[in-house]
Amino acid sequence: MSTSPGPLRAYYRLVPRIRGLEPERRRTWVSLIAAWAGLVIPGLLLGIWLWRLGGGWFHLLAPPLAAAALAAWLSPSLIYPFKHEFKRKVIRPMMRELLRDVDYAPLGSVSPMDLEASLLFQAPFSGVEGEDLVIGRFDDVEIKFSEVVGYRELESQGSGAPLAPRSGQKLRTKQVVFRGLFFVAEFNKPTRGQVVVHPDRLEPHLGPIAAALQPRRDEAGLVHVRMEDPRFERHYVVYASSPETAHYALTPALMEQLAEFRERVGAPVAFSIHYGKLYMAVATRKNMLEPPLFGPLASPRVFRGYLEDVELFLSLVESLGLNRRIWGEGTWP
């Protein structure tokens, strides 16, 4: 796909729009620098003044650190208008060049139902946040993906001072369970059972011994299946309804491509195959499709970075053969 005229055509069509956003980019970073300077410098001067009055290190450092924390809290609201306009004028048209019937939502996310249906997480999330939701068709395969932060809310009993009576008030805290990219695509090879594949954290350190230490079954009752591909086994551990289901769904060619994908992204990857869908989670903190604030927007290198973000998943459609409908509706494991 990287050699097709679509991305180049998209770039040259969008260059005037991109350059039109340069004044807003400059205004945004000037506002950002002014906000940081307007808060941190007075905080630093206040700290020096308190220190000269006889205060300690706490009095010297607390004011500028508090000012920096306030500036960091305000920064996203200063950047948001520019970022929103950039994604509306640049990223959305770019997606229309790459995908058919595309819907791009800068503040959208794959749904909690998708995360739960994937069977990749032990318990449902209390909430899901995300951005850069892309839904469309590529090579006649329906796909969707987005950045995702899935969290669970934990409750703890509030307690005041040690000798004070308990208030009975419960404190809620958020525990991030997954942060990364989540991808869903049609899987046109019919499988009756379920295949769930997690990152193998033992194999790289223990080698063949790791297989003996893997749980025989996972939380959903799926059985551990060892695959014949050593390169695939270094990265993944497979659970399935049965060994036949795993070997039927994970062909040698598919395992080779998934191992290559894991090495290319350089981050833990989990995926599952069932009910005609491929679900994939990539645990990464990378922020996709973000405009540069302190560099030229129209740089081909910047645009190539956006294409690489999208092609990360689009390439899976081709390499995994998701666009090939060669399997019938006969008997399968």
User: Is the pTM above the cut of 0.85?
Assistant: no
pLDDT at 1 > cutoff 50: no
Neighbours of 100 (CB within 10 A): 11
Neighbours of 75 (CB within 10 A): 14
Q: Report d(CA 134, CA 253) in Å as an integer.
A: 27
8-38 pLDDT, tens digit per residue, is 677 788 888 888 999 999 999 999 999 999 9
Q: Which tokens hold the place of 80?
A: 């948001």
Asked if 241 contacts 119 with a C-beta cutoff of 8 angstroms, the reply is no
298-308 pLDDT, tens digit per residue, is 888 888 888 88
261-292 pLDDT, tens digit per residue, is 999 888 889 999 988 889 999 988 888 888 88
Q: Report d(CA 218, CA 239) in Å as an integer.
A: 7
